[in-house]
Amino acid sequence: MLEVLGFSRDEFDLYRALVEVASATAEQLAVTVGMDAEEVAAFLVSLEKRGLVSRHENENPTHFTASPPTVAIGSLIVERQRWLRRAEIELERLNDLYRKAADDRTASDLVDLVPGRAAGMQRINQLLRGARREARLTIRTTKLTSEGYDFVEERRALDRGVTFRLLSERGVLDRPNSFGEFRDGQGLEVRLAASLPSRLLVVDSEIAMVPVMAAPDDLSGGALIVHRSGLLDSLIALFEGLWAAGAPLLESAAPAGGTSELDETDARILRLLNAGLTDHKVANQLGLSARTVQRRMSNLMEKAEVETRLQLGVAAKRRGWL
């Protein structure tokens, strides 16, 4: 927790250990936290300078006590909040200057080239870290959707309250449990498409990123950063058209209405099958056996009072299950 205030993990562990006791010597703390006594002594000096601990030299050996967290840490938090507020004000000033400069851009200024895959991946992470409201993202069945792609920045953005609309090729689901850690109501909406023309990232409807070469789209040829312009509007329109035709997999809001009749597993099975996946691929996605998927489908058909999967699809839409 204290790392955000400029403290190391060891300093935090030491302060926390001292909070839990009335007082302690450096040697006693070293035993408690499992550190070298000399290291503990150096950390205590650092914490003392920051006002988090105080020493009692009239005792032999010297004892240390923790300052009250509300006073010691609270003041640091207030100071950090003050600096963050100043940074936010400066950010708004810079954004105003940027928007004014954008009005004077020429056609050649509306698109930037990011050379190479490494620089392209770095820019993707930068754009996701800077997202404030919404991110639109397409994912194709490429190297980027191998086991090494773990949605780290997407998860961090979701934690900040950014909503995501993610349009994925069905082939991405060949990787088991591709979206297994995500659930309805987490701010992430996922739809599936048979194929997509290219990777695309649009952040806050203000900036977009596409690979220079659509095939392969692993960013080896670099990427294009598209600023506010008619071209950006066209990319957004392309995404919206593809999105409208996609099959829902996850909803950004918690399910309501008819979906409450189903448990979460049955609801996801229906969506995956509706998106065109086989029983085997559905089982891989959900960590189930194909036999379990088939048994659940039989139960769903019985609940919907139908005899075939085609009839189940119609009934599921009528009942609000899809």
Range of the domain at 84: 1-104
Provide the pLDDT for residue 165: 93
Number of structural domains in the chain: 3
The mean pLDDT value for 220-231 works out to: 87
Share of the chain above pLDDT 70, in %: 84
**Which domain CATH number covers 292?**
1.10.10.10
Q: pTM of the entire structure?
A: 0.61
Q: Tell whether 300 and 198 lie within a shared domain.
A: no
Pick the last residue of a domain from 197, 231, 250. Answer: 250
Pick the last residue of a domain from 233, 250, 267. Answer: 250
pLDDT at 236 over 90: yes
Pick the last residue of a domain from 104, 138, 163. Answer: 104
SS (H, E, C) the chain: CHHHHCCCHHHHHHHHHHHCCCCEEHHHHHHHHCCCHHHHHHHHHHHHHCCCEEEECCCCCCEEEECCHHHHHHHHHHHHHHHHHHHHHHHHHHHHHHHHHHCCCCHHHCEEEECCHHHHHHHHHHHHHHCCCEEEEEECCCHHHCCCCCCHHHHHHHHCCCEEEEEEEHHHHHCCCCCCCCCCCCCEEEEEECCCCCCEEEECCCEEEEECCCCCCCCCCCEEEECCCHHHHHHHHHHHHHHHHCEEEECCCCCCHHHHHCCHHHHHHHHHHHCCCCHHHHHHHHCCCHHHHHHHHHHHHHHHCCCCHHHHHHHHHHHCCC
Q: Tell whether 128 and 232 lie within a shared domain.
A: yes
Q: Tell whether 170 and 111 lie within a shared domain.
A: yes
Q: Tell whether 229 and 263 lie within a shared domain.
A: no
Averaged confidence pLDDT in the chain? 81
pLDDT single digits (tens) 269-303: 888 888 778 888 888 888 888 899 899 989 888 88
Q: Tell whether 197 and 295 lie within a shared domain.
A: no
